[in-house]
Structure 1
Amino acid sequence: MSHTVIDRKPSTGEAPPARSLAHRRMPRWAPAGIALASVALASGIGMAAGWESRVQWGMIAAVFFVVGTYVITTAVEGSRQAKDRIATSVVWVCFVLAIVPLASLAWTTIQRGSRILDGYFLSHSMAGLNQNTPGGGIYHAIIGTLEQVAIATLIAVPIGLLTAIYLVEYGRGSLAKAVTFFVDVMTGIPSIVAGLFILSTWVLTFDMGPSGFAGALALTILMMPVVVRSTEEMLKLVPNELREASLALGVPKWRTILKVVLPTAIGGITTGVMLAVARIAGETAPVLLLVLGSSFINNDPFDGEQASLPLYVYQEYMLGTPHSYDRAWGAALVLIIFVMVLNLVARGIARWKAPKTGR
């Protein structure tokens, strides 16, 4: 008869130690702390070395931030997490390097342009005023910019819209490839080339002379490919099911495009048009060649020289006097506000016209 011996160990009442799966983590404030320490260390080195350029301080701080993040994360979380942290740090450094010049430019323009920006500056022109004396305004330049941009928009938007509809809805074969190729080429055309083209044809060949309309034609060349590309992408985002459902009901294709496709994509199309307008509003080279600029108010864009805000900024800056510099900064501030308003309007329209998803 066999006997089984059971080994009983006294129970201490304590559970066996559980193996922890948690790893050490850096606190959330660690990146900010490393960034502040990097800035402080770089500032100390810059002051000790006598460097006056803040750009050098910033570059050293960026290097310290990336290296410090990697070293500290490796010591705390391990090398695998350190690689992720260093990639995030590089992205943040690139973001700061991109935003600092923009913020500096905006701050400088606001600081110097606000000195002269008032009701008088917006409601008067430079007619009969010595360029080296204080006073004057940008009323004539505002009129020129609005008229030239409006004419360019009225020409470029219908042509660009119809071209995009053709490429998306009807474009097949060699003609569509040729149109796509030329649109791509026009996208990369420098603004001065567009101005020279209109100068050689409209002004010199047809002997029409400088005018706001000539400048608007050059702006049309620059604006058209932007409208085509943005509209084309928005039309491609419209689901094919909507087209097929409309065609299945016996609706003609042209009516499907007009009543189904375009209303669905109208938000994105409007946004693209607004961004194209903002792109041409600051062009100087074509206007300098074709409009020439004027100190007087010219409400007729088809006859005679006309002013514009970018050209006004260039001409006042070239005078090189303290008063002309102030006027140039004031006009630059107005131009930035104009472009910013267009971008905000584009974003508002895009959000307003965005498709509503039901719950």
Structure 2
Amino acid sequence: MTTTDRTTAEFSDAPAESAAETTAEITTEIPPRRIPVRRRTSATTPHDRLVAFGCAVSATLLTWFLMHELLTSPGWLADLVVAFVLYLVMLYVVTRDRVGHLAAMDRLVSAVVVSGATALLIPLLFLLGYIVLKGVPDLRLAFFTHDMAAVAPTDPATDTGGLHAIVGTLEQTALALVLVVPLGVLTAVFLNETRSRFRRPVRIFVDAMSGLPSVVAGLFVYAALILPPIQGGFSGLMATIALTMIMLPTVTRTVDVVLRLVPDGLREASLALGASRARTVWSVVLPTARTGVSTAIILGIARVVGETAPLLFTSFGTQAMNYNPFSDPQESLPRFVYRYIKEPLASAQERGYIGAFVLIVLIFALFALTRLLGRKRWSGRRTRPARSDR
């Protein structure tokens, strides 16, 4: 037997148990490699939510210990600020230790944004809930069918009539839209689609007008068109002019921003196919920005539909129905609310809450109608079949 054969025989005679032990020892000496799990920075897991809840509880307890055991708290607002700061610090430290700096910064910014949105949403919901609780119990169908001409101040709030105010608000807002939408869109097109040297002065003027106080617009119309020697008189038209001055800068600036977002490639493609610049704006730019234009109109309505100050100097208000906005004083819902909410009688104040609730509902209805009409108009133009040339 050769040396190689003897060595092979010795290894073959080794027990199987010793070989298994050797393999186990080698396996335990080399730890398994940890494979990192890829995840999105903004993704949250149940464990992340549990960590956030634990940080909130810890921040609350630590705030109580610091502000009430070690120090003297000046009030609940100071406790809230300290607890919020401690919560952000704890959340950042714990998240950075778990998943890194990038995810920790994302959690921190998300917590700040959500907290700010909640802080703004809570007063809004409280205000809406307060108006609903005050206005709904006394609201009757008669509010939408008659005016206040035959209602005495001492009558109960259930006898309130607001048809004249609703008609006035709708007419004044509609007339303002008729004036503002063409002017605002044309001005925005002028600022974006032309190369005129007057663009900069017009843009500066629009930006300056956007900060115009509403009472100044009402005073200007009162001094220029109502007082002698013109003597135009109080009317819904005067209110419309004041509202137009307030609404026009908002619509123009919003449409201006929206038109900037339209890609230049669409304009260049249309011009390359032989279309004129006016045809490009009408058939390419405006349809592309249709959603933004609808949003601009909604923002314009929101800017003026609840204004009261300019109406005090222009429409004056009345308790009787006036369908003609071009002559004689005319009522509106903001003016209706202002008229009765400042009265000492409880029934008059309840009438003011009823008008405020109806005004909120009317604003939501106008928003929905504007969005619906904008979508139908432009979707109809887009789906219209092309005419074949024969």
Q: Same fold (TM over 0.5)?
A: yes
Q: Give 1:91 shift.
A: 2.9
In structure 1, C-alpha distance between the alignment counterparts of 2:264 and 2:256, rounded to whole Å: 14
Measured in 2, the distance between the counterparts of 1:37 and 1:112 equals: 40
Matched, 1:125 2:144: no
The corresponding residue for 1:101 is 123
CA contact (8 A) 1:191 1:283 kept: yes
- State the one-letter code of the partner of 1:313: V
Alignment map for 1:118-157 (pairs within 5 Å): 118-134=140-156, 135-157=159-181
Q: What is residue 212 of structure 2 aligned with on the other side?
A: 189
CA distance, structure 1, for counterparts of residue 141 and residue 65 of structure 2: 46
The answer to whether residue 238 in structure 2 is matched with residue 214 in structure 1 is: yes
RMSD: 3.4
User: What amino acid does structure 1 have at the position aligned with 2:205?
Assistant: F
After TM superposition, list the pairs within 5 Å mapping 1:203-242 onto structure 2. Answer: 203-205=226-228, 206-242=230-266
Describe the SS at the equivalent of 1:153.
helix
Match of 2:15 in 1: none
Find the aligned partners of 2:307 and 2:90 in 1 and give their Cα distance.
47
Aligned to 2:302: 278
- Report what 2:27 is aligned to: 14
Given that residues 192 and 285 in structure 1 are in contact (C-alpha distance below 8 angstroms), is that contact kept between their aligned partners in structure 2? yes
Contact residue 149 and residue 216 of structure 1 kept, 8 A: yes
**Between the two proteins, what is the percent identity of the paired residues?**
35
Kindly provide the amino acid, as one letter, of the partner of residue 200 in structure 2: K
Task: In structure 1, give the amino acid aligned to 2:224.
Answer: T
TM-score by length of 2: 0.76
Change (3 A) 1:88 1:269: closer
Q: Which amino acid aligns with 1:144?
A: G
Task: Indicate if the aligned counterparts of 2:88 and 2:111 stay in contact, CA closer than 8 A.
Answer: yes
Indicate the residue corresponding to 1:291 in structure 2: 315
Is 1:269 aligned to 2:331, yes or no? Answer: no
AA aligned to 1:147 is: E
Q: For the structure 1 residues 36 and 95, does the alpha-carbon distance in structure 2 shift closer, same or farther, using more than 3 Å as the test?
A: farther
**TM superposition score normalised by structure 1:** 0.82
Give the 3 Å change call, closer, same or farther, for CA 44–195 of structure 1 in structure 2.
farther
Aligned 1:12-161 pairs, distance under 5 A: 12-15=25-28, 16-18=30-32, 27-32=48-53, 34-35=55-56, 57=76, 60-61=79-80, 63-68=82-87, 70-71=89-90, 74=93, 78=97, 80=101, 85-134=107-156, 135-161=159-185
Gaps of 5+ in 1: 1-8, 47-55
Distance 2:324 2:64 in 1: 56
Give a deviation string over 1:141-188, Cα, whole Å, max 9, x none.
Answer: 000000111111111111112111111112421x11111111111100
Contact 2:315 2:329 in 1 (8 A): yes
Q: How far is 1:132 from its partner?
A: 3.3
Cα distance in 2 for partners of 1:87, 1:233 equals 26
Moved more, 152-161 or 228-237: 228-237
Q: Residue 211 of structure 1 aligns to which amino acid in structure 2?
A: S
Higher relative contact order (CA 8 A, sep 6+): 1
Change (3 A) 1:72 1:296: closer
Is the contact between residue 292 and residue 306 of structure 1 (CA under 8 Å) also seen in structure 2?
yes
Change in 2 beyond 3 A, CA 1:33/1:132? farther
Aligned counterparts of 1:281 and 1:197: Cα–Cα separation in 2: 19
Quote how far apart the aligned CAs of 1:193 are: 0.6
Residue 298 of structure 1: how far off its partner (Å) = 0.4
Q: Secondary structure at the match of 2:153?
A: coil
Question: Which deviations, in whole Å up to 9, do the C-alpha atoms of 1:304-325 show, x marking residues without a partner?
Answer: 1110001111110111221111
Q: Name the stretch that deviates more: 300-309 or 78-87.
A: 78-87
Alignment of 1:257 onto 2:281: yes
Contact 1:42 1:60 in 2 (8 A): yes
Check the 8 A contact 1:211/1:303 in 2, yes or no: yes
Q: Kindly provide the CA deviation profile for residues 73-109 of structure 1, in whole angstroms up to 9, marking residues without a partner as x.
A: 6367539576654444333332221111111101111
Larger radius of gyration: 2
